[in-house]
Structures are given as C-alpha cells and as structure tokens.
Structure 1
Amino acid sequence: MIVEVMNSNLNEKLYYEDCELLKRVAVFIMAITIYYVSWYYGKDILMNLFYGYIKNGDLKPKLFFSHLLIYGSIFSAICSYIMIFIAYKLGVIGLPKYLVNIKGALLYGIVSALALSVLFIIYWLIRGYDFQFLINSQSVLGNIFSNYYEEISYRALLVGVTLALFRNKWIAIVIPSLIMVSTHTQYPFEFKCLVFLGSCFFSYVYIRTSNLVSSWSSHQVSDMVLDTILKV
C-alpha cells in the first residue's frame, strides 16, 4: 500500500520545469527574506498581543493558546502562504496539495512518523536518558495547528522554492532544515541536531509524496509519540 502511494505521486512536481533561472533566484531570496522577517517580527507582535492574556490566565488552556497564537507563529504561516501564492502566480512552484489521495497520504505520514520515532527512541536508549509516560492534551491539540504552520513555512514554501532553484532534492531537504533549526533557539545544541534530523525527514516525506498532508501527519504523529514517552 505504501509503495502504491509513493508510485502514484512520482510524476507530481512541486515546481515548474520551464521557469527561468533569474525568476527562481529572485523568488528564493524573497521567500527566505519574508520567512525570517515574518518569523522574528511576527512572533514579537503576537507575543505583545497575546502573551499577557495567556500568562495571566485570561486565555485557557494556556499551553493550547500558546501553540495556537505564539509558538507556531500563525503570522509567519500567513506570510508564507502569501509568498507561496506569489511564487505560484510567477510560475515557480505549485500550490500545496491536500486533497489528492488523502487516505494514502495519511498512511504514508503515520508510517514514516513511527519509523522516525523508533530512531529517536534508539538514540534515547543509547544516551541513557530517562523515559516517561505523560499525555499532555493541550500540547497535542496545540501541535495540530503549530505543526501545520511549520509545514506551510518550511515545507510548502522553503522546500518548494529551494527545490525549484537547485532542482536537487537533497539541497531542498538540507537548506530548509537548517533554517528550521535556526529559529528553534530554545533548544540546546544536541536537541537542535534532533530537530534538524526530524526536519530532514519531514522534508523528504513532502518531496516524496508531493502532499502536505503526508509531512504534516508525519510531524504530528511523531510529536505525539515522542512528547509522550521521552523525558526532556
């Protein structure tokens, strides 16, 4: 079944073949710039607007609204989608796909998430870290939105424009993943390396399936599994 899902999407392109180089370079630079500006300034704007309400308990549950309004930066996702539409109108990249083979895309995402989770668990065992079992419903629900924001920015936009420019899937996997690490400043170096690995994994899933549902479900399920059992 998974092989069928992959084969059904092998001919799908995330970019337009006939787009000239100058336009691809310009869109790539614009996308990187808009992403960073919207992330840093948009996050500050959202923090100023909502942090007081969340901190003082006016918005409950707090952790859910933090993911919804602050951590995932909905402002960045909105700006990224606008940039995606501009790139689409310029004939550089295609619009993100959601409705194509949803069942297969979800299955591919879930299976890939479980594979990634196994790798992280093995690493956790090797390092001798502690495990736990703690389901945080606020975090799980909040991640539904914040992970979607990240998939729009990192995969649909940044993977899309990088792939369109370089026409190399490995470059399109590495560059957006480095950008993702650069904006996750709250983690120590070791965990940043894990974020980089996870981002590379989700980017590969997106390129392989040409479907944002696959990378989002892979991101969401792996977060649900690992946040529940890994003690950070």
Structure 2
Amino acid sequence: MNAYLAESIACLSVGILVFVVGRMRLIYNTLYIPLVLSSFIFIGFYGVAVSREFVIPFLGFSNKVNRLLFYDYGNGLIGLLPLALAILFIGKYLLNIDYNQQWSGTTHFNLASLKYGMIGGIVLAAIPLLIAASMGQKFNYKVDVYRYGLNCVTNLYEEIICRGLLLACCIKYWNRLAAVVWTSVVFGLAHGLTEKSIPIALGAGLIAWAVLKAKSLWAGWTTHQLTDMIVDTFLP
C-alpha cells in the first residue's frame, strides 16, 4: 500500500509539473500532451490500487464478488473501467480526437484485426512457451473459462488505456517508432516496476505493431487475449 501511495504521489507530481510547464508554453504540445497523458495513466493505475482499499469496504460485497469486480486477472470487471472511460472522454472532448482515431482507424472489428491479432498472439505466446520448453518444463494444460472471460474485459480496458488515445497522440506528435517504444514502456511500467517490466514492454511492442497494421485497437485486444489464453492454459 505504501509503495503504491508513493508511486501515486510521484506520478501526480510529475503530471502537475508537466501540466504547469505546458500551460506556461515552456514546452509545446509535441511533448506536453503525450507526457501529461502518460502521467494521467500512471496516476490512474496506481490510484485504482490505492483507492479501492478504501472504497470496497463501504460497498459491503462478499469477498468473492469483490474479487470478481475489482481484483481478479487485471483489476476485475470494473476496476479499470473508470480510467478507460476517462481516457476515451479526454480524447473526444478535450483533444477533439474521435473514437475511430483513438482506435487507430476504426472501432469495428474487421478481418484485419483478426489476422494481425492472431499473428501477434501466436508469436507472443510462443516465446514464453519455448523458453519454458528449453528449460525442460513439462506442459500440463488447464482450461480456466473464468479467467478467459475476465481477461476479455480487462484486456480491452488495458488496450484503451495504453494503446488507444496515447498511441494516437504519440503518432500525431512524434512518429510511429517513437510511439510504439513509448507506449510499450508505459505498458510495461503500468504493470509495476519488477523484473517482468522489460519482457512485458517488449511484448507490448508487438501488440502495438498489430494495432498499427490492422488500423484497429481490436487487433491489439486480439493479440493480448490470445496470448493470455495460450500462456495461461499451458503455464498456469
């Protein structure tokens, strides 16, 4: 709890500093908007982890319901929903970036989303499986419908937050390579500063590639979902 609180205060301080400097026109939108948006995302992630400890006891739900709504497999069914909605509305009403643009082209799930999403998901899932196999690990599959179902929702929230508006803004003000690198770093750090941050960030680069190739955030969701399903099935 204290670590999350410290990180939240640090991210908030950076966000306020960048906002103030940007409003003073000491830096231009090229840096101002992507950095403020990134700070807002970090504040949101850490804010969810901190605030739910105070909010959940007042709701009076059972532990099972609390885990379903706020904790299991990526902050539950509604843990990240407020942050995802905030990102969508900030893009639409403050930055005048419509939902299709935030989705990197279209909000419709099309054949390209499925194609590039499956390519990305299979490649991304194969890496940890090959590493595990090279270390002599034997695979025992386990089907977990509950986990798959929750991931369908939580993975969409994460895509909207880390590869929706942020990716669109980085491409607008920077370039594709910088956008992929930066959003991947944000995605890796959003999962916590651990030994897994770098592998997660590298994997996020492939997810961003799928989004840009398909011109739809649904390709990122497909990659994310397929990767989780395969890995969770064989490496529970």
Matched, 1:67 2:76: yes
Matched to 1:223, the amino acid is D
SS at match of 2:209: helix
Q: Equivalent residue for 2:89?
A: 82
The Cα RMSD (Å) is: 2.9
Q: Equivalent residue for 2:123?
A: 115
Q: Equivalent residue for 1:143?
A: 151
Of 32, 49, 59 in structure 1, the residue corresponding to residue 55 of structure 2 is 49
Q: Which protein, 1 or 2, shows the higher relative CO under an 8 Å CA cutoff with sep ≥ 6?
A: 1
Structure 1: gaps (5+ residues): 1-20
CA distance in 2: counterparts of 1:31 and 1:176, whole angstroms: 11
Matched to 2:30, the amino acid is R
Give, in angstroms, the shift of residue 132 of structure 1.
Answer: 2.6
SS at match of 1:225: helix
TM-score (norm 1): 0.75
- Percentage identity across paired residues of the two chains: 17
CA distance in 2: counterparts of 1:177 and 1:117, whole angstroms: 17
CA contact (8 A) 1:54 1:65 kept: no
Give, in angstroms, the shift of residue 225 of structure 1.
Answer: 0.7
CA distance in 1: counterparts of 2:201 and 2:73, whole angstroms: 24
Q: Equivalent residue for 2:101?
A: 94
Matches within 5 A, 1:110-189: 110-167=118-175, 169-185=176-192, 188-189=194-195
Matched to 1:32, the amino acid is S
TM-score (norm 2): 0.74
Give, in angstroms, the shift of residue 208 of structure 1.
Answer: 1.9
Segments of 4+ in structure 1 off by > 6 A?
Answer: none
CA contact (8 A) 2:73 2:150 kept: yes
Matched to 2:140, the amino acid is Q
Q: Equivalent residue for 2:217?
A: 212
CA distance in 2: counterparts of 1:201 and 1:39, whole angstroms: 22
Matched to 1:27, the amino acid is I
CA contact (8 A) 1:88 1:95 kept: no
Matched to 1:50, the amino acid is I
* Greater mean alpha carbon deviation, residues 52-61 or residues 215-224: 52-61
CA contact (8 A) 1:53 1:59 kept: no
Give, in angstroms, the shift of residue 56 of structure 1.
Answer: 2.5
Q: 1:199 to 1:64 in 2, by over 3 A?
A: closer
Q: 1:37 to 1:130 in 2, by over 3 A?
A: same
CA distance in 2: counterparts of 1:87 and 1:124, whole angstroms: 46
CA contact (8 A) 2:122 2:227 kept: yes
Structure 2: gaps (5+ residues): 1-26
Q: 1:152 to 1:47 in 2, by over 3 A?
A: farther
Give, in angstroms, the shift of residue 88 of structure 1.
Answer: 4.5
